[in-house]
Chain A
Amino acid sequence: MKNLSQKKNFLTLTNSALILFALLLQNCDTPKMKSATFIFSATIGTEPLVIGSKRYRTPNNEGEFAIENFKLYVSNIMFIDSSRNKFHKEKNSYHLVRFDAQKNTFEFTINSIPIDTFDEIKFSIGIDSVKNKSIDHIGDLDPNGQMAWNWNVGYKFLVLEGNYFTNEGSIVKPLVFHIGFSENYQPLSYDVAKSNLLRSDTIHFNIDIESMFTSPNIINFDSLSSITFNRKKAKLVAANFKEMIRLKK
């Protein structure tokens, strides 16, 4: 009886130790889920974007312009820890970054990030060619968002609409820039100081709309104030996306 009782105690202790060990192992192997908030601020040079009637100096000629609509897709966000060769890709990563009259910032939060640290962030402007083959999508890709172009070329990646005012008699030309087509999908990459993702983190980016028209391709509103469904012209503006979005330090 005594032996049986001793055996039972031993088994109970062993089981408890095993359970404890398993729990510890689980804690070590399973990373705590983190979150990161992306905040995009839109400016024209150093001036904050104000949707509506506020006028800004045109970057490449004499005149002013106002913006009534500005939206773009940020997609396929990835966090990379290059030192440990780890990365996390956000699933269904398609965010319609948009601004309204009330504020010049837009933010979204990515949850359930399983890596602890990262030193590089990647994302793209536009929709990748696989997803862009169809407009049957929900969420930020819902066609009701007015960004679905058509069933063949997919989505507009960036929309900027407004008006251009010349100095000579304030003649108004509409500004209509609808930039899409799969070949204009622009991957971007940002080195960040090694950040430990704690419970949550915030990453700021600045979208300088002026850069969209200046670097490396000069877009002069006198000669080009509208791009709607023109692949060649869209490419000129899309090439400027790289300089348009910068990490705010």
Chain B
Amino acid sequence: MRKVFAVCFLVLGSCTNNKPDNDDTIVTPSHFPLKTNQPNHNTLSKEGIALGRQLFFDSTLSKNKNISCQSCHLPVKAFTDGVSLSIKGTSGKALIRNSPTLVNLLWSTSFFWDGGASDLESQAFLPLTHPDEMGMDLNELVLRLNQKAEYKNKFKQVFDIDTITSPYVARALAQFQRTIISANSRYDRFVLKKEALSKIEIKGLTLFYEKKCAHCHTPPLFHDNSFHNNGIDSFFKDTNDGSFLGRYRISNNKEDIGKFKTPTLRNIELTDPYMHDGRFKSLDEVLLHYSKKIVHSPTLDTLFIKKKGNVGIDLTQEEREAILKFLVCLTDGSLIRHSSNRKLE
């Protein structure tokens, strides 16, 4: 009876499902969370992803036509740019935040270092329009795109619109970004029992849990979609519209002062420099910070507070080296090769 029921259910399911099947546009890794974050009004399609990719690499989306999204999100750097604070923007001024990686955004619940945007589509408007980034006026953006027959045809095909407007540009970009999935590192193959790790790498993995790194950098995403004060500053200046106050700028909750979004550790070997302002040039500096250089502030994460008010994570040099060896296992060579080999239109 169960089998018959199951067959009937499948048949009914296929009979009542009139929507085009877009599930073949991405394959989500079996060891990743089932729940993803994408809006119903912007479902993925092959054409939408391709359009988004084209826009991502198109410098005509910037005011001076000299930078594109990939200028600060280079595939070869796991979609970061290798500098602390970029000066590539239209104004030439240095940004106040480091360019984050764009991998696995399908599972992210907020965007920007302070989580200010709740969806990828809305997020796009900052880099597109900020004078220190692409500096684009939205009316100029749609004027440029609508003058190109190729874009008009593609937007028509994807969204069934005759005139391109900025929300659809953001939606196409979001579709592409959601397909940037990194899940084929040596660590992933180890978890899926396809590859072994060395002794020291296993030791590093073990320490990763024992020393509670995994508390915030939780596998398989290696972040927790949350915000923490990890003790890099004792004081947070209230300038630039609260940009240095971290999550507080968004939540208005004083307990969030100095907290920034946990970044993923995937491809961490490639995404230097580190922290929200790119202050640490190497992973060694990062681990040294956690073991010896954490500073107090009222909102310091309790994870770093030891007995008698001391702060930090106890790590010997040997333990730091083992953790570093493990972190290198999070590099996904196939993502980098695949993304970099894409033909740019």
Please list the residues of chain A having a beta carbon within 8 angstroms of any beta carbon in chain B.
Answer: 133-138, 142-144, 148, 150-152, 229, 231
Q: List A contacts of B142 (CB < 8 A).
A: 144
Chain B minimum-CB-distance residue to A138: B167
**How would you classify the secondary structure of chain A's contact residues: helix, strand, loop or mixed?**
loop
Q: List B contacts of A144 (CB < 8 A).
A: 138-139, 142, 165-166
Please state if A152 and B125 are interface contacts (CB–CB under 8 Å): no
Decide if B261 is an interface residue (CB 8 Å cutoff).
no
Please state if A137 and B126 are interface contacts (CB–CB under 8 Å): no
CA distance A145 to B142 in the complex (A): 12
Decide if B181 is an interface residue (CB 8 Å cutoff).
no
Taking a contact as CB atoms closer than 8 A, the residue among A135, A138, A231 that contacts B125 in the complex is: A135
Chain B minimum-CB-distance residue to A229: B241
CA distance A133 to B111 in the complex (A): 13
Please state if B165 and A148 are interface contacts (CB–CB under 8 Å): no
CA distance A130 to B166 in the complex (A): 21
Taking a contact as CB atoms closer than 8 A, the residue among A142, A150, A152, A229 that contacts B167 in the complex is: A142
* 17 cross-chain CB contacts under 8 A: A133-B119, A134-B39, A134-B118, A135-B122, A142-B167, A143-B138, A144-B138, A144-B142, A144-B165, A150-B126, A151-B111, A151-B112, A151-B117, A152-B116, A152-B117, A229-B241, A231-B252
Taking a contact as CB atoms closer than 8 A, the residue among B116, B138, B166 that contacts A151 in the complex is: B116
Taking a contact as CB atoms closer than 8 A, the residue among B118, B125, B138, B252 that contacts A133 in the complex is: B118
Taking a contact as CB atoms closer than 8 A, the residue among B42, B121, B170, B250 that contacts A152 in the complex is: B250
CA distance A229 to B240 in the complex (A): 12
Q: List A contacts of B174 (CB < 8 A).
A: 136
Q: Contacts A136-B122, A138-B165, A150-B125 given; 8 further ones with Cβ under 8 A? A: A134-B118, A136-B170, A136-B171, A143-B166, A144-B138, A144-B142, A150-B116, A152-B116
| Complex interface bits, B150-183 against A, C-beta within 8 A gives 1, otherwise 0 | 0000000000000001111011001000000000
| Complex interface bits, B110-153 against A, C-beta within 8 A gives 1, otherwise 0 | 01100011110111011000000000001100100000000000
Please state if A136 and B167 are interface contacts (CB–CB under 8 Å): yes
What are the 8 tightest A-B residue pairs by CB atom distance, in nearest-first order?
A136-B121, A151-B117, A152-B116, A151-B122, A134-B122, A135-B122, A144-B138, A136-B122
**Given the contacts A144-B142, A150-B125, A151-B126, A134 and B119 also touching, CB distance less than 8 Å:** yes
